[in-house]
Amino acid sequence: MTEEIHEHITCVFCGCLCDDIQLKVQDNKIVDNKNGCAISKAKFLHHTEDRPAAPTIRENGTAKEVTLDAAISKAVDLIANSKRLLVYGLSSTENDAHREAYKIAEAAGGVVDNTSSVCHGPTIMGAQESGEPAAALAEVRHRSDLVIYWGSNPQFAHPRHMNLHTRAAGEYIKDPKKERKIWVVDIRKTISAGIADKYIRISPGSDLEVLSAIRAVLRGKALDIAEVGGVTIKEIADLVERMKSVKYGVLFFGLGLTQSKGRYHNIDAAIRLIQDLNAYTKWSMMPMRGHYNVAGANKTSTWQTGYPYAVDYSRSYPRYQPGEFTAVDLLARGEADVLLNIAADPAAHFPRAALQRMGKIPIINIDPKQNMTSLLATVNIPTAIAGIECDGAAVRMDGLPLYLKKVVEPPENFLPDRDVLRMIYDELRRVMK
């Protein structure tokens, strides 16, 4: 029996990208995950589960196992004959795979979008309106004396976020219990709210009003109403006084803010509030990115296409338009005629109108595991899991790039996403010549 210990491993589950994971590997099997949260443990210890045996092609409703070459050839055939290819996903794979996806979209004159269009896309649009006073996790730990989680439940979705970054002691916050306060703003008392120093309940859909009221009070405006979104004006005035008087404040925000009524207007209002607060003291903000490399998908898309998501290549140069070139919209309008899905599960997450279209068009699904989208897909190509079975790079929620190591061999004949995509691209170029 061989046994290896791998240290300083980066976890490939959520946007925290904790890089202190210690893995024990026996005979190419991960048997222990030290330091990881419950989700991390599940991800690493059960990575061999739900893995398809081989690539498949669906014919007459039945998926038949085929060789990788046959699956690639079928995928290329579908892409080459598409009029409006949609390439989607990317947030649960490493950066090199993204590059190949953009090349395919460009070569086919299609659209490429990543999952941020259904999570923090509005965050990016907010930044396009106003900029972004972006926080950093090290600084949060060392300096912040007030942390607000808005529409975010870290104890559930980012289990080590509070422990490692906002409940931990830092260079200038020696006793975090005393010196740092944590507030949670949410529509319901989440488990994170339960352990926060203050919970502020707001009515569903009132985020924009509450943020605007806070900002108005901060700017010295008198509001002739008693309450906004279930929060009294007096309470808002108290919050504002506190926010002005801290040394270093940080706002973390989740999908409760980005995907509720108002969407990017909410984020724009939050950004402007944080910018205004900087006239008094230090404040910054950070989106609680979900998938471990959704931030990386925005980064790679930005340097390679100029835009962070929702990119169309039909005119042979990249164009950007959320709402038009975003995956859900493209499908719901019945526009996309082939879907190349990489490392995401739209069948499990997209609204019905988009799913209806997905049921009618060929789907090429590239994912290490069996997922809901596999059940619809014409071509399924299982791949190696980045950060476990092959290496790569990913980007943390605050923009820090981290290296992902390979710790075990993938199942036989399973290649990294980037290799499968490169084979598709090379073959596509050959066919389209």
Instruction: Catalog residues that contact other proteins under the rule CB under 8 A.
Output: 7-8, 10, 19-20, 95-96, 99, 106, 124, 127-139, 141-143, 164-165, 171, 247-248, 275, 278-279, 281-282, 284, 298-300, 302-308, 313, 315-320, 391, 393, 395-396, 398-403
Going by the DSSP 8-state scheme, the letter that residue 117 receives in this structure is: G
Cβ-contact 173, 144 below 8 angstroms: yes
Q: Which is nearer to other proteins, 182 or 236 (CB)?
A: 182
Q: Which is nearer to other proteins, 21 or 358 (CB)?
A: 21
Q: Which is nearer to other proteins, 58 or 180 (CB)?
A: 180
Going by the DSSP 8-state scheme, the letter that residue 291 receives in this structure is: B
> Please, is 297 exposed, middle or buried when counting C-beta atoms within 10 Å of its C-beta (0-12, 13-18, 19+)?
buried
Alpha-carbon gap, residue 324 to 194, rounded angstroms: 40
Amino acid letter for position 135? A
Q: How far is the CB of 354 from other proteins (least distance, A)?
A: 24
Beta bridge partners of residue 381, listed in sequence order: 366
Q: How far is the CB of 165 from other proteins (least distance, A)?
A: 7
Q: Which is nearer to other proteins, 170 or 382 (CB)?
A: 170
Residue 310, helix vs strand vs coil: coil
Q: How far is the CB of 231 from other proteins (least distance, A)?
A: 27
Q: Which is nearer to other proteins, 55 or 416 (CB)?
A: 416
Find the angle CA(394)-CA(252)-CA(397) to the nearest 5 degrees.
Answer: 5
Q: Which is nearer to other proteins, 107 or 210 (CB)?
A: 107
Q: How far is the CB of 67 from other proteins (least distance, A)?
A: 28
Q: How far is the CB of 182 from other proteins (least distance, A)?
A: 18
Q: How far is the CB of 157 from other proteins (least distance, A)?
A: 19
Q: Which is nearer to other proteins, 118 or 363 (CB)?
A: 118
Cβ-contact 141, 166 below 8 angstroms: yes
DSSP string, 336-402: -SEEEEES--HHHHS-HHHHHHHTTS-EEEE-SS--HHHHH-SEEE--PPBTTTB-EEEE-TTS-EE
Q: How far is the CB of 360 from other proteins (least distance, A)?
A: 29
Q: How far is the CB of 298 from other proteins (least distance, A)?
A: 7
Q: Which is nearer to other proteins, 228 or 388 (CB)?
A: 388
Alpha-carbon gap, residue 309 to 326, rounded angstroms: 8
Cβ atoms within 10 Å of 230's Cβ, excluding its own: 15
Cβ atoms within 10 Å of 19's Cβ, excluding its own: 17
Residue 61 structure tokens = 């409703």
Alpha-carbon gap, residue 233 to 210, rounded angstroms: 10
